[in-house]
Structure 1
């Protein structure tokens, strides 16, 4: 029944794009629309249950909180009804016609960046409703808000670019979605087909699901059960439903605690880090419950930001049931929850690293960047996190990693620092001049390949009382080695270094003989404590026009043939020697990744080649 004229609207541009993708190319398994609509219905019921706790008057308040699915194979329809919060006219427009809450813009962006490989993540962007149009000739949504003074409405669309809304009398509270199926999707109107889908995807919904009047699921809060009684398959299915995932979880942690808070938690680590795949920044995905009542599906405060990759559920009896989902006012309770869960998860990772080293290595390849973020920024858990960090080093095989604790166990009695080098890859670090002096003294050096590593090292600063030190910094002091035969005399070295400083001028802060070079003629060392070469490259990339001052010390190898030849040439052929000196500096800057413009170097090389 309707007492108003239907009003026609156009979908927002992003929604049109989304519908086009969903209808024509997104899924090979169209049955997923059932899971998405049931999941949305469950969310609406959770919101209603919370609303009943905070509002005095709720429309149609005697309704059972359940989901009813009805199929009609003659009419080729499937209907999914919930008695949840429902929608007003404004909410219909906002939620189903625009991008205000649907997340479709983020979904389209992520899909564009990563292609179809992860297109099954539609539910994570809150755009699951539109999956109905994969199978629908038309979709009608009959709804009545929980607000008593709001009239009922019917929203309808065939997915072609427009939708209509009109008032509809006699609606129960909640939403009833009626899907008229396309001819080639008519089997979704079969009772047995939908039963199979519901049992596969919706077994853990916390509300009764009835199919044609018959109860399908049993309410199971898996996190409240004894972990010894839960099968691996049950965990996997719960993870898939809760995380809107298709893969199996990489790791899981199921635990309970009584003090300082009563907690039941079930946490999962996904197979892949979607941030690494190019998707947008992950949102918190560990839902917060109190005695099976959803408080917040995506709370920001129960876990630190660096644990945003975790999925799952945390249930605490100690939270007040009427805690506000928007404000989460009881910060002290949430802080306690945060500490308990984080410490327990870090302890779990320590056990994994110790008892299942290969599995931990695989986990670290995907999610190590989050642990590094925590080590740099989370002072509370820094000590635990630093123990979990892993790096390749000059003493490990390619692809094998070591912990800081293992590095310290191999240190000699006289070594006071943990050395590291930042570079794009192992080959680059090993072929550069910075490792030579450390190798000659059998000093281990950690290899850092990720952009974040230097920031982490600068923030962590020390481990087990040993300072973390960049091996390419000018302040590093290495023990003396026996001087091999054939080096320039000390007075000749003094003469040459002074000449080099005069010749190179302001391009170098200092020139001196090196105690770290073995096979290379020169090395450029960072003379700026506050701006490492790697950090300077990042700053330069961020602001290409900015003048980032460069301060390096040049060290020479008095035993190297090039340096000895330069000493002979600097008086005999001063012009040629000047070209060689400048070229040696540029070579050193290239090794350090600090040569910004090679134009002058190419011209100089051509001059040098003329004199060969």
Structure 2
């Protein structure tokens, strides 16, 4: 028997491994099975080279559980180890046998996984004791048993073992008993070993026994993995159904993908994989982390932000590459120039694939656009280089469900939708039903209206305004139709200043109190064919509020109330009627008030003119009191005037009806206010 200490520089190597080296204890099973697969692949390589002339036989790796003994055993029929090799590769941490082997057989090595020589020691994360019983494939080799209890001390002794290969026996620690549950091991094997390149068996297949009325074991191994997953096969040999079936294997609960990209590159790096375009309309965050990263068919992680650009994390599928640099635990990507090259390559392949689909089957591409739009907008917003490619296959959809490239749409609207300053105005709606009347008003003017109802459309608008020359996006309800695209100077109102002010006050006084909403009333001459009252919302302010949902630092806008404009059309007969009724019902009451108001305003103007000639320190207390008293008198008369107008407005059904119609058009009339409107409508019809 040989005894010794493992060649490490510190007595504390095992606590380090147990707590810090590996991000998750469950990875131990991946590492153990990976080592068994490595040993098996080495044997296959030696057989191909003619250096192993024996029978390969069944090369299945077996994982077995003994709950009574508290052990997990991983067995292979690979190359095994001699006592000297155990001393070199097990007792000297970080001196990996894989590196030596790869150097010797670099041109024909079968998917050797490990690069660090530390994988075996992950077993001590969950084990109080580990045994290796191994026998080398070499002629005359003797079986050897190595054991270690989690300290640097180990023992090597002779052992009995008929066949070549290794059995790794893990005596599971008391605080890790969950790993002795069959369901847990099945789950981990399915997660990490599902596509390893050598068959991996866990237990026996089961079938229903009508005699015992339960599932019973058969004599067939329960192989848990597919040794030739779809991404390892040549695309020319595969059909659409193969890709769809593989997608269902990866994501059983997901809708069918729209299409996919089969990656296969061997220069300047090795990379294979299949990326699927899922159907995404919203909820970006729920769709992330669906790409699985493999290293020679061994699962590494589904956190792939480091290897693919952020917007590509919306894709689903598999990437497999031995060239992606990992840290020693194979759990995290390391930043590297090679990663950047791979990222750039994947972006290019995605863009090329989208361009090809667009050219080959535009109709089919348009049918998928609503699902694709979020992904492409995200890409254009986050990657400048992707915008340069995507601008040729990104689409704009109008409210009639017609699709256009950027250039096509510009050509369509160029003649009709330029304002007086030469800016091209892109009109858009975000909801066809809610904004129907505004859309219709634009169409009646001969304008086209886009439908931009996606999760990232508002940020995309900001970007496109910067990319498109002399162009601006304006929502159809952001202003009255004649001011959406200003062709000429606005017509002068036919009302006097006093009439406009009185009319504004009449309507302003009856506007409802809506939480976080402010109304600004204005009078415009719009023609007798336009609506009497229209509610609009300033494009810039609304857009800033919407952008605050996406960008940090814009919370100021989110807190501000919605500012809406109530535009009164002074040319409309109903508005004229309100004004006429107002004159008839308030003229007598307003005459003395307006006379007094004008007198007080004239007096205040004279006082201000006189006092402006003096320095502040020259003003006497009498001067200040006289000014304050006159200002108070002016405000009192203004309030009296408002009270008269407000009393008229409160009793005028047409004022309330016009306001409610405008609110109803914008989905803002609810509850008691809606009930009053309905009753008033019936009364007006009688």
Length-normalised TM-score, structure 2: 0.52
| Contact 1:255/1:264 (8 A) holds in 2 | yes
C-alpha distance in structure 2 between counterparts of 1:516 and 1:259, whole Å? 69
**Map 1:151-550 → 2, pairs under 5 A:** 155=180, 176-177=202-203, 183=209, 189-190=217-218, 202=225, 205-206=226-227, 220=228, 222-244=230-252, 249-257=257-265, 261-270=269-278, 272-273=279-280, 281-290=286-295, 292=297, 294-316=299-321, 318-320=323-325, 325-385=330-390, 388-394=393-399, 396=400, 399-413=401-415, 415=418, 416-424=423-431, 426-430=432-436, 432-433=437-438, 435-436=440-441, 438-465=442-469, 466-474=471-479, 477-480=484-487, 490-492=493-495, 496-505=499-508, 508-513=519-524, 519-527=530-538, 529-532=540-543, 535=546, 548-550=560-562
C-alpha distance in structure 2 between counterparts of 1:410 and 1:385, whole Å? 20
| Contact 1:508/1:551 (8 A) holds in 2 | yes
Tell me the CA shift for residue 497 of structure 1: 3.6
What residue number does 1:169 align with?
Answer: none
Query: Per-residue displacement from partner, 1:474-505 (whole Å, max 9, x unpaired)?
Result: 4954245899xxxx994238665433323344
Gaps of 5+ in 2: 1-25, 39-55, 65-71, 77-118, 128-166, 185-199, 510-517, 587-647
Gaps of 5+ in 1: 1-40, 54-62, 71-78, 93-141, 160-173, 207-219
What residue number does 2:578 align with?
Answer: 566
C-alpha distance in structure 2 between counterparts of 1:263 and 1:281, whole Å? 27
Query: Per-residue displacement from partner, 1:395-440 (whole Å, max 9, x unpaired)?
Result: x3xx44444333212122462334243443x23332x23541x323
| Contact 2:438/2:476 (8 A) holds in 1 | no
What residue number does 1:165 align with?
Answer: none
Q: Secondary structure at the match of 1:308?
A: helix
Q: Secondary structure at the match of 1:428?
A: coil
C-alpha distance in structure 1 between counterparts of 2:427 and 2:255, whole Å? 36
Query: Per-residue displacement from partner, 1:152-201 (whole Å, max 9, x unpaired)?
Result: 99835899xxxxxxxxxxxxxx9954687664586774568x89xx6xx9
| Contact 1:239/1:245 (8 A) holds in 2 | no
**Map 1:25-40 → 2, pairs under 5 A:** none
Query: Per-residue displacement from partner, 1:200-253 (whole Å, max 9, x unpaired)?
Result: x95xx24xxxxxxxxxxxxx3643554334444544444444445787643121
Moved more, 243-252 or 307-316: 243-252
Q: Secondary structure at the match of 1:336?
A: helix
Equivalences, count: 453
| Contact 2:425/2:485 (8 A) holds in 1 | no
| Contact 2:206/2:217 (8 A) holds in 1 | no
Query: Per-residue displacement from partner, 1:368-410 (whole Å, max 9, x unpaired)?
Result: 333334444445534445655545424x3xx444443332121
Quick one: structure 1 residues 525 and 226, their matched pair in 2 at CA, closer, same or farther if it must change by over 3 Å?
same
Quick one: structure 1 residues 523 and 266, their matched pair in 2 at CA, closer, same or farther if it must change by over 3 Å?
same
C-alpha distance in structure 2 between counterparts of 1:86 and 1:153, whole Å? 19
Q: Secondary structure at the match of 2:578?
A: helix
Tell me the CA shift for residue 446 of structure 1: 0.6
Length-normalised TM-score, structure 1: 0.58
| Contact 2:523/2:570 (8 A) holds in 1 | no
| Contact 1:240/1:246 (8 A) holds in 2 | yes
Q: Greater RCO between the two (CA within 8 Å, min separation 6)?
A: 1
Query: Per-residue displacement from partner, 1:508-567 (whole Å, max 9, x unpaired)?
Result: 43513265995422222213723359849999xxx9xx9852322232344533233333
| Contact 2:535/2:662 (8 A) holds in 1 | yes
Q: Secondary structure at the match of 1:553?
A: strand
Quick one: structure 1 residues 43 and 534, their matched pair in 2 at CA, closer, same or farther if it must change by over 3 Å?
same
Pick the structure with greater CA Rg.
2
Moved more, 178-187 or 255-264: 178-187
C-alpha distance in structure 2 between counterparts of 1:279 and 1:441, whole Å? 37
What residue number does 2:82 align with?
Answer: none
C-alpha distance in structure 2 between counterparts of 1:318 and 1:90, whole Å? 27
What residue number does 2:191 align with?
Answer: none
Residues 1:49 and 2:54 aligned together: no
Residues 1:591 and 2:665 aligned together: yes
Q: Secondary structure at the match of 1:492?
A: coil
